[in-house]
Structure 1
């Protein structure tokens, strides 16, 4: 599903604005990556793969239990997971430039923030069947209502 809301300012976007894709390690984000790389190849655009992370418990309770060393360890692991997932698709589409961004933020906020300078934001969905399949997750819903560019919500590939 692709959603294009009315009155989205496109004039300020550079021709080489990226296709932004949310990556979280799931099969749904594998499908989103595939879609994003295909869209980028067709448009001659780069891909910006975004992985957001945060420690909800520590943030919610305003705890300072995360030491600098533990934050660095978490970030290193998250960066590795992002690189591994993106590498598979990047190898299949070597002509598409790709950048990776790891951010300590919620996924919706991180992607909405990047939508201002993107051609398209792509996210996966769990793709459950029946009535539950009609429901979007909180990240997809936030993007549909708040992104400053078109949004593609991609179900996982069925094999």
Structure 2
């Protein structure tokens, strides 16, 4: 037994921008986390013998079960550093685009249409569902949803 990697990142950065061209606007924001590691406990729970149940049918297991061919979950996977994975990531949190129409009715009505996405994408070498896990233990963590939104603003 030894201490291997840290779940805490060594570097965290953010990036954001807002661009306007004539009546169009575009904005985004994202984050980078480097040097953090997670223990992929979901993959560690998959064993080679767990592929087949005692009832004679196949069970859902991760591909790690056939790669490692670990046979006993608590003894073999808990003592292995095989499932400690690099969880560095770049996450694009938000992207928005909009258009402002020319004023109508003698400048009394102003309209703007917009669209946006939250949790746009994640670039990571991590093989689990989501590399951004508090404490570094991936244990059936529910991934963040991708959310789409449309907007219509009217000023009069």
> Which of the pair has more CA radius of gyration?
2
Please indicate the TM-score interval, normalised by the length of the shorter structure.
under 0.3
Q: Which has the higher strand share?
A: 2
Q: Which has the higher helix share?
A: 1
Indicate the structure whose relative CO is greater, using CA pairs within 8 Å and at least 6 residues apart.
1
